[in-house]
Amino acid sequence: MKTNIFKRTLVAGATLSAISLLSACGSSGGATPVVEQPTPPNTLTVQQQCEIDTFDNAPTHPSKSISWDQDSIQFISSGVYSRVKKLADGQLIIVYSDGPAVVYQLSDDDGTTWGEQFTVASGGDKYGYTNAEFIELNDGTWIYAWNARPTQEHGAETFQIKTSISYDKGQTWQPEELIFSAANTFDQGVWEPVFLQLPSGELQLYFANEFPYGGSSHDQEISMQRSFDNGISWGDVETISYRPNSRDGMPVPIVLNDQSEIVFSIEDNGIAGEFKPVTIRTSLDDNWLTGVINAESEHRQHALHVDAQLDNGIYAGAPYIAQFPSGETILSVQSAQCRKGTLAYLRVYLGDEQARNFAYPTTPFSTDFVKEDGEVLWSGLTVLDDETIIATSSINTGDNTNPNGVYIVKGKIQR
């Protein structure tokens, strides 16, 4: 029988050693029996033991691994939902929301230090601006996107996807542009915009969209709009992926290094119980023209290798995909494996050059930093060079000594 290298046994604390009685021989003198004291019980909680078995003792790739520098963990802001991008001039930009506004900071030393916080737009009293996203186009244009959420439902304000453009590297920003408007209720909204620019120059804007299905169904699709003038105007909304009675969500697209395919990761709660990471793909030549990727499509697949897949009852959502120049892909998920209820933890998996077979998970923010009552959410991954990556997350540390908010940590792939 072939051994499954991913199989791990959950140990709920060490079992007490059996108590053995060493009775004195039945000789004269009536010696008092000697009783061996029980071994002190293991004081680890079920969760702590699971983390040891699943995280610390996780299987490793025979020739590659990702290590995370815990000394590089850095608090950025009390904001939420962050993304880091590398600019053409070598600077890094981190975008996130802070209160009702969407903001950013810049770094010129690969994220070791960060400059002042700049505001792109604010929703004021009527909207909370969140789900910050950013792209620097091939011509140097900056575009910032976000999700506008009404502070009160059932009013005049609707859930929206909006953008703003800067032609001078953030010195000034053009007026906000409404790209898509959904309903005025939370269960018929629109969420999580993300950009992709193709080699042809075509700009695509993906987002999670439940507006077409009505509030009672809770269904959600991944929609996309195209721009052929660098974000000035946008085409009609296209449905890219949809599974009936389910919620495709949180898309993150890439063009593979070999330019064979467009691949995006999503969370899918119709494929294996609780939300799981899934990849949706099309050839670059087809570019989504042959129709919707439905539940039965061969272009919708489990992201994790068959031996790395999680039980149906384990939540593993909000995936984020990226690729190294050398070809390896990485995929992060916020996973409730070994956690209390839905208190998720960031796990990063290593995949192949075609964004398949993700396995060998690692933990960017250690269990020493994020305590049992903490959680790591809405994460993003950025490849800085052929070996270095940054993970950024919204973290509740579960520890009063460290603030909650946006954090980053650096990792390296070792080959």
Domain-embedded: residue 4 = no
pLDDT for position 358: 97
- For residue 12, what pLDDT is reported? 30
User: Which residues does residue 276 pair with via DSSP β-bridges, in sequence order?
Assistant: 268
Q: Are 268 and 276 in contact (CB under 8 A)?
A: yes
Report residue 289 as tokens: 């023209």
Asked if residue 195 and residue 120 are part of one domain, the reply reads: yes
| Contacting residues for 339 by C-beta, under 8 A, at least 6 apart | 47, 345, 375
| Last residue of one domain, picked from the residues 224, 241, 258 | 241
By residue range, what is the domain housing residue 98?
85-241
Q: Are 254 and 159 members of one domain?
A: no
385 and 276 inside one domain: yes
Q: How would you label 73-112 residue by residue, b for 16+ Cβ within 10 Å and e otherwise?
A: bbebbebbbbbbbbbeeebbbbbbbbebbbbbbbbeeebe
Tokens of 102: 């969407």
Residue 29 lies in a domain: no
Same-domain status, 351 and 254: yes
Of all residues in the chain, what percent carry a pLDDT higher than 90? 81
**What local confidence, expressed as pLDDT, does residue 209 receive?**
98
Structure confidence at residue 124 (pLDDT): 97
When pLDDT is averaged across residues 24-34 and rounded to a whole number, the result is 41
Q: Return all residues near 316 (Cβ < 8 A) that are at least 6 apart.
A: 267, 274, 275, 276, 277, 310, 333, 334, 335, 336, 337, 347
pLDDT tens digits, residue range 164-216?
999 999 999 999 999 999 999 999 999 999 999 999 999 999 999 999 997 77
Q: Name the band, by pLDDT with cuts 50, 70 and 90, for residue 57.
A: confident
Res 36: pLDDT: 55
H/E run at residue 265? strand 261-268
Mean pLDDT of 387-402: 96
Q: Are residues 205 and 289 in the same domain?
A: no
- Of how many residues is the chain composed? 415
Domain count, the chain: 2
- E strands, 6-57, in order: 21-22, 34-35
Rounded to whole angstroms, the Cα distance separating 194 from 115 reads 24
* Contact yes or no for 94/83 (Cβ under 8 A): yes
Residues 220 and 362 in one domain: no
The pLDDT value given to residue 27: 35
Read off the pLDDT of residues 253-294 as tens digits, 9 standing for 90 and up: 999 999 999 999 999 999 999 999 999 999 999 999 999 999
Q: Residue 142: is its pLDDT beyond 70?
A: yes
Residue 112 lies in a domain: yes
Residue from 127, 148, 145 nearest 136 by CA: 145
Examine residue 400 and state whether it is found in any structural domain, yes or no: yes
Alpha carbons 181 and 207: distance in angstroms, whole number? 12
Domain with 307 in it: what CATH number? 2.120.10.10
Q: The tokens of 99 are what?
A: 């209160």
Q: Looking at 83-87, 242-246, 322-326, 363-367, which range is the least confident one? A: 363-367
Whether the CA torsion 340, 341, 343, 346 is positive or negative: it is positive
pTM listed for this prediction: 0.88
211 with 271, same domain: the answer is no
Judged against a pLDDT cut of 80, whether residue 32 lies above it is answered with: no
Same domain, 368 and 257: yes
Domain termination residue (choose one: 241, 274, 292): 241
Q: Are 137 and 197 within 8 A, CB to CB?
A: yes
Give the per-residue pLDDT at 367.
83
- 212 inside domain: yes
pLDDT band, very low/low/confident/very high, at 46 (cuts 50, 70, 90): confident
Find out whether 270 and 241 touch, Cβ atoms under 8 Å.
no
At 43 the pLDDT is 72
Residues 237 and 285 grouped into a single domain? no
265 and 223 together in one domain: no
Given 223, 241, 259, the domain boundary residue is 241
Q: What is the chain's mean pLDDT, rounded?
A: 90
Does residue 208 sit in the same domain as residue 271? no
What pLDDT does 276 receive? 98
Is residue 412's pLDDT more than 50?
yes
Q: Are 333 and 364 in contact (CB under 8 A)?
A: no
Looking at residue 70, its amino acid is Q
SS3 211: helix
Report if residue 21 sits inside a domain: no
Percent of the chain with pLDDT over 70: 90
What does the pLDDT read at residue 9? 28
Whether residue 148 is found in the same domain as residue 212: yes
- The rounded distance, in Å, linking the Cα atoms of 264 and 71 is 31
Residues 114-138 have pLDDT tens digits of 999 999 999 999 999 999 999 999 9
User: Above 50 in pLDDT, residue 22?
Assistant: no
Does any domain span residue 12?
A: no
Residue 58 maps to a domain: no
So what's the pLDDT on residue 104? 98
Burial group, residue 122, by CB count within 10 angstroms (0-12, 13-18, 19+) = middle
**Position 102 confidence tier, pLDDT thresholds 50, 70, 90:** very high
